Amino acid sequence: MSIKLGDTAPNFQAETTAGDLDFYNYLGNSWGILFSHPADYTPVCTTELGYTSKLKSEFEARDTKVIALSVDGVEDHQNWIKDINETQNTEVQFPIIADRYRRVSELYDFIHPNASATATVRSLLIIDPAKKVRLIITYPASTGRNFNEIIRVLDSLQLTDSHKVVTPVNWKNGEDVIIPPSLSTEDAREIFPKGVTEIKPYLRYTPQPNT
Ligand code: BEZ
């Protein structure tokens, strides 16, 4: 199944390091991050899961639940977590799905046969509280993802869902944002009391409204 932005993230039940769970129950009304990695006991994946674990308070601050996945079994996950904790100086607390029968991987298109017939690729989805898919990224096995970028996208999505703004290239939380073309400059000046800077009629900035 090919999942696209705006689609409803399909629900599933899975065996995980936190026991059997129902994905929707796990997410509740929170935002979610579902990410796959190629295999346990591999170096790049070890750094990725370790770093994600260290971002725990950042994800909590954004009301976001994290869950990882590979096609390894739960016992391998549990033993590998010990290595991650030891080598990355952390304590992995989010669940890892043991997708031995590839049910979730097939549902979410995490196996790309021309990259690897058996291993999941490095995919990651952000899912909003309405269970809509808001971000999909897929990286090659040789390249670890940048989880600071995932936090940045969460900040952008949560900001732009609640205010009539969009965020520019390399934007970081707290920096000026862009007024979308759908809003007239006149209306923007009313909505954004901190001010509107017009560079071009279609390129207008305002300070981030919620800071
Ligand atoms: C790694 O996580 O280090 C890795 C996984 C699959 C292929 C290459 C590297």
Interval 119-169: pLDDT, tens:
999 999 999 999 999 999 999 999 999 999 999 999 999 999 999 999 999
Question: Does the domain formed by 163-206 have CATH 2.60.40.1220?
Answer: no
What pTM did the predictor assign?
A: 0.96
| Tokens representing residue 210 in the block | 């919620």
- Select the CATH number that applies to the domain covering 13-143 from these four: 3.40.30.10, 3.30.70.20, 3.40.190.290, 3.40.50.2300: 3.40.30.10
Ligand 1 pocket, 39 CB below 6 A?
yes
Ligand 1 pocket, 38 CB below 6 A?
yes
Domain borders along the chain are 13-143, 163-206
The 203-206 sheet, strands edge to edge: 177-178, 203-206, 197-200
Whether 163-206 and 13-143 are alike in CATH topology: the answer is: no
| Catalytic residue list contains 52 | no
CA distance 95 to 21: 10
CA distance 32 to 23: 10
